[in-house]
Amino acid sequence: MATRETEWAYSNDGRIAFVFLALAIVLLAIGLLAVTAYGSDAANGGVALLAVAMFLLVFSVLVFVPRLARRGPASFSFYSRRSLDEAVKAVREAIEASGRTPRVDIVKSRSERPPRIVTAEGIQARFRIEVTRHAAGSEGGLEWTEIVESSASRDGAEAQALRKKVMERLAGGSPPDG
């Protein structure tokens, strides 16, 4: 079985949420215009557009608002076969190697192993580290840990260097297939 090289996965949740909400608003406007302009002749088409628009609106609010609150508008994520404590240690060491003092906060959670947030003064990036809920994590008794970097800068040299340092310290294991 070939192993694939692991790397940070980029996600722009802010843009995705914006597109879904914009599409919902456009469909709402078209549906309302059709019903008001053409009356009963366009009622079926207008109602169908309004139904699709409401679905998109509810879907985007239920899916993307919690994700935006947890990850921020743009983020990078990485899966590691390390424990939560090892992942926190690796992120702390990477931040310390850049000459900053890291701070670890434990997020209030109903989980028996709540997520950790690692930040440092002078670094825009915020790392959220949590045990993944992915089904592949249960095989073999070892856990998968997801490290999510939320940052304002996607291509900043400092952000890329920090991600590279974290990845070097977490080397080993391949991410779960999804």
Domain boundaries, the chain: 9-71, 75-169
Q: What is the pLDDT of residues 110-122, one digit of tens each?
A: 877 888 999 888 8
What's the CATH number of domain 75-169, 3.80.10, 3.30.310, 3.30.70, 1.10.3470?
Answer: 3.30.310
Strand partners, 145: 80, 131
Q: Would the pLDDT of 26 be above 90?
A: yes
CA–CA dist 32, 50 (Å, integer): 8
Q: Would the pLDDT of 30 be above 80?
A: yes
Q: What is the pLDDT of residue 2?
A: 39
| End-to-end Cα distance, the chain | 16
Per DSSP, which regions of the chain are E strands?
A: 9-11, 75-80, 102-106, 116-120, 126-131, 145-150
- 106, 96, 99, 87: which is closest to 149 by C-alpha? 87
- 65, 64, 59, 53: which is closest to 24 by C-alpha? 53
- Angle of helix 43-71 relative to helix 13-38, nearest 10 degrees, comes to 160
Q: Answer yes or no: are the C-beta atoms of 148 and 125 closer than 8 Å.
A: no
Q: What is the pLDDT of residues 37-62, one digit of tens each?
A: 888 878 888 888 889 999 998 998 89
